[in-house]
Amino acid sequence: MRATKTVTAEKTKIITANEAAAIAARLCRVQVIAAYPITPQTPVTEELAAMVERGELNAEYLTVESEHSAMAAVVGASQVGARVFTATSANGLLYMHEVLHWAAGSRVPVVMACVNRGVGAPWTILNDQQDSISQRDTGWVQLYCRNSQEVLDTIIQAYRIAEQGSLPVMVCYDGFVLSHASTPVEIPPQELVDQFLPPRNDQLSIFSDGPGNLNPLILSEARKDAKGTLKPG
């Protein structure tokens, strides 16, 4: 008996890895985006900003003054239950370093695209993975992609990993080698992504009726039940 092939792609488009990252974030129905542009990551944020402006993505796009602020913004938004996204490269990732520890220590499911680029000095825009590798011990899951299809697929998977494991996830792919190279990418239908990635529902969010400090040592008594265990928000 010949097996029946199941077609899961809504369409195939010839796009860059940066476009694939933006489309993946849209498919994941992100609610808050904060990012600061840096080569070769900039087209990711440009495309997401355009999606929000066109009404294709119902999300808040926060214009911030630095990568440090971008990470602080998505950590705060994630702490109150939003599904968040950011992206950066090279020295921008280094500027985020302090807040990367805060994201991991707070166990917030932030997903970030890291478009790998060499770190200066000497100044360079050539591909190099030393930016993300240097952040190895900050507590983030790091996933590396070989092509644009993997970028799209991995970002979708990253949200499920992040939200089920309460960990931030960094999806890394080579700058220019992938970020600006156009290749065919199969884009799954929205309903298939929705089945794989339901709305966020975890117990680590801060709510107005039960404020807490997401910290291993301190937790508001308002967030605990009679047995002293954490209550859902």
Please list the rounded mean pLDDT of every run of 10 residues in the chain (233 residues). 52 97 98 97 97 97 97 96 97 97 95 95 86 97 98 98 96 96 97 97 64 52 47 46
Q: Is CATH 3.40.50.970 the classification given to domain 11-187?
A: yes
Give residue 56's pLDDT.
97
Give residue 121's pLDDT.
79
Give residue 205's pLDDT.
60
Give residue 204's pLDDT.
63
Sequence-distant (≥ 6) Cβ neighbours of residue 175 within 8 angstroms: 39, 40, 41, 89, 90, 115, 116, 117, 125, 127
